[in-house]
Structure 1
């Protein structure tokens, strides 16, 4: 488990922060899902 700015920015394959990093789910256009993650 890397930080919110770890594997998401380092690995080009995991360049999708929305799917890989739940912490960065706030980047999603769906506010409902983001609100769930951030509680």
Structure 2
């Protein structure tokens, strides 16, 4: 149980770091546009 909680916290930390990196490179907007286009197909 404790291990799962630590894994989740680690994953969220990694995910937030990834989002911050994308934002700093200004690619998050392009990624969202691509996702929307892919969904609309």
* Structure-2-length-normalised TM-score: 0.29
State the structure with bigger RCO (CA 8 A, min sep 6), 1 or 2.
1
Structure 1 or 2: larger helix share?
2
* Structure-1-length-normalised TM-score: 0.29
